[in-house]
Structure 1
Amino acid sequence: MKAEEIGLEEVKVRPVVDQLNDLLANYHIHYQKLRGCHWNVKGKSFFTLHAKFEELYTNAIASIDELAERILTLGKAPLSTYKEYIETARIEEINTVGIEDIKLVEAVLEDFATLIEIEREIMESTAANGDDGTNDMINKFMQFKEKNTWMLRAFCNRD
Structure 2
Amino acid sequence: MRRTRNDIAENARAGVISIPSARLADVIDREPAFRGNVRNVPGIPLVTLHAMFDAPQPRPAEHIDDLAERITALGGTAMGSAQAVSTATSLAPFPTDLVDGLRLVEALADRTAALTRSVRQGIDETAEIGDAGSAELLTGHPRELDKILWLLEVHLERR
TM-score, normalised to structure 1's length? 0.82
Residue type of the partner of 1:93?
F
| Aligned match of 2:84 | 84
| Aligned match of 2:156 | 156
Cα distance change on mapping 1:51 and 1:60 into 2, 3 Å? farther
**Aligned residue pairs: how many?**
157
| Aligned match of 1:94 | 95
The CA RMSD over aligned residues, in Å, is 2.5
> Take 1:56 and 1:26, find their aligned partners in 2: how far apart are those partners?
19
C-alpha offsets along residues 13-44 of structure 1, whole Å, 9 cap, x if unaligned?
Answer: 22221121111112222111112134434433
Deviation at 1:153, TM superposition (A): 1.2
| Unaligned runs of at least 5 residues, structure 2 | none
> Take 1:37 and 1:56, find their aligned partners in 2: how far apart are those partners?
16
| Aligned match of 1:19 | 19
Cα distance change on mapping 1:4 and 1:151 into 2, 3 Å? same
| Aligned match of 2:116 | 116
Residue type of the partner of 1:111?
R
- Return 36-45 or 59-68, whichever deviates more: 36-45
Cα distance change on mapping 1:83 and 1:47 into 2, 3 Å? same
Deviation at 1:137, TM superposition (A): 2.0
> Take 1:60 and 1:40, find their aligned partners in 2: how far apart are those partners?
22
> Take 1:74 and 1:42, find their aligned partners in 2: how far apart are those partners?
46
1:126 aligns with 2:110: no
| Aligned match of 2:49 | 49
Deviation at 1:88, TM superposition (A): 1.6
| Aligned match of 2:68 | 68
- Counterpart of 1:26 in 2: which secondary structure? helix
Percent of residue pairs identical = 25
> Take 1:42 and 1:14, find their aligned partners in 2: how far apart are those partners?
47
C-alpha offsets along residues 122-152 of structure 1, whole Å, 9 cap, x if unaligned?
Answer: 1112211332222222111111111221222
C-alpha offsets along residues 60-98 of structure 1, whole Å, 9 cap, x if unaligned?
Answer: 2332222111111111101132222111212213326x5
> Take 1:40 and 1:29, find their aligned partners in 2: how far apart are those partners?
19
Q: Is the 8 A contact 2:58 2:144 kept in 1?
A: no
